[in-house]
Amino acid sequence: MIELLSPSTVDATARVLTDHGFSVFGISTTALTRSVCDDAVRENGPVALIARVGDEVRGVAVAIVDAPRYWKKFMFRHPLFACRVLGKRNKSSRNDAERLAAGVDAEGDAAAFAVNWNESSPHVARVSLIVVSSSSRGCGLGAEMYEAMFDHLRARGVVTVLARIGAANTASLQLHRKTGWTLGRRGARWQALKEL
């Protein structure tokens, strides 16, 4: 059964996300995961869907509408997290500059980059994570969660959804192909774009 996260499933869902190393800006902590889940059960928070069998959460998908704005506000509410992000950002912007100077391989559809990952818009959502527990993979739960996610995002006025996928993540690439995303790769990462 695919359903929206509710207060009674926050604990189990946060555990699944933490076990899977849910991370934001390269930072992964239990408190961060729990805060995002708590926000998801509030009005206009992140859209979090779970695939539940009995009491067990077998899959979770989280997408954030206007993610840059959400994270900006999140950092005001969580200043310690903000400090860690700033520390990381200084390092990674140096790495990005080096990577771009070296040039990167590209593949796939350039249209996947039609929307900038960091663009702030109430009509754009970013997938933070989609995960299915290892014993339930390949049974269609990932695709089902995405289809339900698209309906919820449409109802929130979203027209474009973005996701990022590691170049070697065959299962995730296949899931995105199956659910109708446009895919383009630069370097070690694919960007996926879905028009709703």
Ligand X SMILES: CC(C)(COP(=O)(O)OP(=O)(O)OC[C@H]1O[C@@H](n2cnc3c(N)ncnc32)[C@H](O)[C@@H]1OP(=O)(O)O)[C@@H](O)C(=O)NCCC(=O)NCCS
89 is an interface residue for ligand X by CB under 6 A: no
Contact call for residue 93 and ligand X (CB under 6 A)? no
Q: Which residue has the tokens 């990932």?
A: 142
Asked if 108 touches ligand X (CB under 6 A), the answer is no
Q: What is the DSSP letter of 19?
A: H
Q: Is 86 one of the binding residues for ligand X (CB under 6 A)?
A: no
In whole angstroms, the minimum distance from the beta carbon of 59 to ligand X comes to 6
Q: Which helix (H) or strand (E) holds 160?
A: strand 160-166
* Alpha-carbon separation of residue 190 from 32, 76, 108, 156 (angstroms): 25, 30, 9, 26
Regarding 189 and contact with ligand X (CB under 6 A), the answer is no
188 lines the binding site for ligand X (CB under 6 A): no
SS3 category, 51: strand
Interaction of residue 53 with ligand X, rule CB under 6 A: no
Q: 69-75: which pairs have CB atoms within 8 A and are 24 or more residues apart?
A: 69/120, 70/46, 71/24, 71/25, 74/35, 74/39
Contact between 174 and ligand X (CB under 6 A)? yes
For position 142 contacting ligand X by CB under 6 A, the verdict is yes
Interface mask toward ligand X for 111-140; x: CB under 6 A: -------------------xxx----xxxx
**Which residues in this chain contact ligand X in the complex, by CB under 6 A?**
130-132, 137-143, 165, 169-172, 174-175, 178
